[in-house]
Amino acid sequence: MNCERCQERPAVVHLTEIINNKKRVLRLCEQCARAVQAESFGFLPQMNLHNFLAGLFSNHMASPFGPSVAGGQKCPNCGISEGQFAKSGLLGCGECYRHFGERLDPVFRRLHGTNQHTGKVPERTGGKVKLSKQIDRLKVKLREAISREEFEQAAKIRDQIRDLEKELAREGD
């Protein structure tokens, strides 16, 4: 199938837009897809993290359970208002997290499932931490298997834990 825009090259990018249960598909070659992304002519407006966060914050703030973000509170440190954040998706400073914290919590919970930062471990240096976390997860599975009286499964998990603990001890040396 050829590109719907240039009619010359094969279509390798397929964009699908569904609005009000009406599906629209656009099949493009790589070059035309780049041009469409740059133009953003109405089909799939460009989405970036800031717009995404702004949309989540706006939807939360415009809910019937909370006041609108038309202006809202301002950060005492940088002066950004809730309305400005809702439009841009960008906070002005580190103090904004403290000042708007209770209003941001539901947004973070919806995005990440929690409002507590757990961090990531770098691939090259996180060997011990990853092993420890894996051992902890297996211990939880072990307790669950024992409570369900699945002793064969529990024995396999116990052996996995022992192997990982040996590996952890080797990395410690």
DSSP 114-144: SSS------TTT-HHHHHHHHHHHHHHHHHH
167 has a pLDDT exceeding 80? yes
Model confidence over 57-109: pLDDT tens digits? Answer: 555 544 333 444 445 788 898 888 877 877 777 788 888 888 887 877 777 77
Burial class (CB in 10 A: 0-12, 13-18, 19+), 86: buried
Determine contact, residues 115/108, Cβ cutoff 8 Å: yes
Report residue 140's pLDDT band, with 50, 70 and 90 as the boundaries: very high
Average pLDDT taken over every residue of the chain: 76
Q: Is the pTM of this model over 0.85?
A: no
